[in-house]
Amino acid sequence: MLFKNKKSIPAEHRKYLRLDTVFPVQFRLQEPQGDVFLSGWIQGFTNNISRGGICLAINNLDPELFELFKKKYVKLSLEIDIPISRKPICARASIVWAKDIFGDKHQYLVGVNYDSIPARLNNKLMRYAWFKKLFVPAALALVIILGAGLGVNSYLNFKLTQGNKLLIEKLATVLKDSSQTKQKITNIATQRKSFAAKLRRLQEQIKSVQFQKEQIQAGDLEQIKQLNGLIARLSEEKLLLENKLAAAVRNENVAAKELTHLDEQKVVLEKANFDKMYQWLKIHQNSRTGLVASFEGDKEIANWSFTYDLALLAQAYSRFGDFERARKILDFFAHNAKRENGWFLNAYYVDDGAPAEFILHSGPNLWVGLAAMQYMQFAKNQAYLELAESIAQSIIDLQNQDAEGGIRGGPTMSWYATEHNLDAYAFFNMLAQVTGKEKYSQAAQKAVDWMVKYTYGRPELPVKRGKGDSTIATDTYAWSIAALGPEKLLSLGMDPDKILEFVEENCRVEVDFMRTNSQSVKIKGFDFAPQRHTSRGGVVSSEWTAQMVVSYKIMEEFYLKKGDKAKAASYGRKAQMYLSELGNMIISSSSPSGQGQGCLPYATLDQVDTGHGWSTPKGSHTGSVSGTAYTLFAYYGFNPLELKE
């Protein structure tokens, strides 16, 4: 062990700054005038160094050799080892002083000045000494800075997370207060109408009594007295009712002002929360693959990215002008995604893009095509037209396999779904619009002809789920409005109003939803299927409710163009009402990267049968890409099944 006692080191007068640092040094004693070595190699260590020399610390030195040091009869041939040099630094030095610092323990300090040392190597030695001297405090400072930065970052993340959660709770509170105030206004209005009706009856009764009084003979004083008393009592009752009616009107006005204020708050908070929801969609995109996990919170499929969800995301990014993010997704499908005979798989792993589900369905492939078309529309860039047309060709080839022009569920499937034919109709129309190619118009017409034959036509069941399949699926009703449009439906003999009325009567539900703060709230929305057809009870689908909102907005615009303001306003109110209900479903992101930002769960219940062959994801507060993206579509009135300027 090397000991230092700086107080015992003799004063010296080097003109160079000394650096306390330790290197191993081996040396041999030489005659002052010659190369004759007087000893073998002796081990020592630097106690400090300077540009002009070093202080050597030597343990267990032979006392006879120490006497030579003291008398300065010898020179030293040095080899200094430093970690950054493969070879030791060689130097020749003269002894300046020597001291036994620990008495009989034979531990010594010897000061030497260089007689010769290569300048380049001396510079190297000093640089390393300086680095060593500064490294520890610099490293400590860096650790402190990083620790402080981490602490500040953690604090800021905590504050941001708390702020995001508070924003969600503020919206929930305003929506609750708004709902209660609306109910209060309804109750007051009912009371006001009741008072007004009673007042009208009293006024009629008073008129009747006064008429009776006028018919009585002037001499019949007793009867006149009785009628006057009745009129007085009725007048008192009338005055009391008038006061109650006036109070009801005042209370109704106060409540109406309160509702106006709440609605103003709701508009601001909805915008802020929906902006946060879009941020949630952005921050989860894998920078390398461009993919995003479809369900945040379900550990079993935490690394799965479903093709349909990615297509929705690409459209959301395009809608908001985030073209680079949209390109990452579309580039994945154009260049990296595994395809089987030209068909994309239903799901891929987020981290490396490898297949996660080896199933080929028409719908997800069509939605990738729709995403490519929407990107090209928003970006004014036809970079993915080849991708879109390759998808279209696969679908057309499948369509041509059916004599009636129907599109099966996939190349290996035997069943036919209405939703896939609706998707295809919208997709082919987009391609026909962009390219002007007749084959796409013909493919779209085949799809709609098939739907007229197998999907539409029965007033008691306006939209079948598929060929020979009378199951009611909410999305086929909403997408009938979005893909075909009200005017096209009317031209086919279908009533868009009746389509929406049917799904309202059969699939609209009101359920309890447990928020992340453990508070239960009533949610009105749309189930995946009629509640009476399932044993689980009602469940609200965020995505399919949002699809209905998009359809309501389409109908609102349709009737505004027709000049029917009353019907337009009716659909507008429905759209706003269900958007508010979706606002009540917003949850805080559960992941560290999510920072508590808002997102939508897939449904109000986890792990329940949708009624269509799959279940809702696990986790009572699992964030859903499709539910969140489609709710944004609903809020901004964006129809993914239509190209629009």
pLDDT of 389 strictly over 60 = yes
pLDDT of 411 strictly over 50 = yes
Q: How would residue 551 be classed by pLDDT, with cut points 50, 70 and 90?
A: very high
Mean pLDDT of 398-407: 96
Mean pLDDT of 569-597: 87
Mean pLDDT of 506-529: 88
**CATH entry, 284-454, from 3.40.50.720, 3.30.365.10, 1.50.10.10, 3.40.50.2300:** 1.50.10.10
β-partners of residue 599 are 587
- Break the chain into its structural domains and give their ranges: 6-130, 178-264, 284-454, 496-645
pTM for this predicted structure = 0.72
* Same fold across 6-130 and 284-454: no
DSSP 616: P
Cα–Cα distances in Å, from 623 out to 41, 157, 299, 628?
Answer: 72, 20, 12, 8
Q: What is the pLDDT of residue 406?
A: 96
* Assigned token pair, 443: 């493919």
Q: Hey, what CATH topology would domain 6-130 get?
A: Thrombin, subunit H (2.40.10)
Whether the CB-CB separation of 594 and 268 falls below 8 Å is answered with no
Render pLDDT for 177-195 as a digit per residue (tens, 0 to 9). Answer: 888 898 899 999 999 999 8
Rounded to the nearest integer, the mean pLDDT of the chain is: 86
CA pseudo-torsion sign 79, 80, 81, 84:
negative
Q: How far apart are CA 182 and CA 500, in angstroms?
A: 25
Q: How would residue 37 be classed by pLDDT, with cut points 50, 70 and 90?
A: low
